[in-house]
């Protein structure tokens, strides 16, 4: 295991000892650690407070950019769909992890597997009900406003 994955696992273990979940993440570029994070759900009562997201937020704030192309994420556990999506949006293309989603399920942390499965089915069949609503007549369309701006 390399030094960055060792650090992610170390952060995860420390987080468990402090009452949190077993997830740590380290964001790297050019063999240099840029940011790290642990799941902080137990501290902040914020369901988006995942290790990978916190590492991304810290790096973007520090570097004043949304583009993390060329960065690599090391995570103690396989990223959940939310973190996976954030990494896509940030431009991260390389992710290494230790514990799989199945390992998380075995430990009682199995929400990610259910979400990954739910994303495979059409919207109308998902557990989370999603219904599109049209704009009111005459209402300004933010998407059109954006399109006209660029």
CB contact set of 86 (below 8 Å; sequence gap of 6+) = 52, 53, 56
The two tokens of residue 2 are: 């390399």
Identify the active-site residue in 40, 52, 117, 137.
52
| DSSP H or E run through 29 | strand 24-29
Cα–chain center distance at 62: 18
> 124: which DSSP letter?
G
Query: Does 52 participate in catalysis according to the annotation?
Result: yes
Catalytic residue ranges:
52
């Amino acid at each position: 295991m390399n030094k960055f994955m060792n650090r992610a696992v170390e952060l995860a273990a420390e987080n468990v000892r402090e009452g949190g979940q077993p997830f740590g993440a380290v964001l790297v570029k050019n063999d240099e650690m840029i940011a790290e994070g642990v799941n902080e759900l137990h501290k902040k009562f914020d369901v988006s407070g995942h290790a990978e997201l916190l590492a991304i937020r810290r790096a973007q704030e520090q570097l004043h950019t949304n583009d993390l192309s060329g960065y690599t994420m090391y995570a103690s556990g396989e990223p959940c769909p939310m973190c996976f999506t954030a990494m896509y949006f940030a431009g991260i293309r390389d992710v290494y992890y230790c514990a799989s989603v199945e390992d998380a399920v075995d430990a009682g942390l199995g929400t990610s597997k259910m979400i990954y499965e739910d994303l495979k089915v059409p919207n109308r069949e998902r557990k989370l009900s999603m219904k599109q609503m049209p704009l009111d007549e005459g209402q300004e369309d933010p998407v059109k406003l954006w399109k006209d701006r660029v």
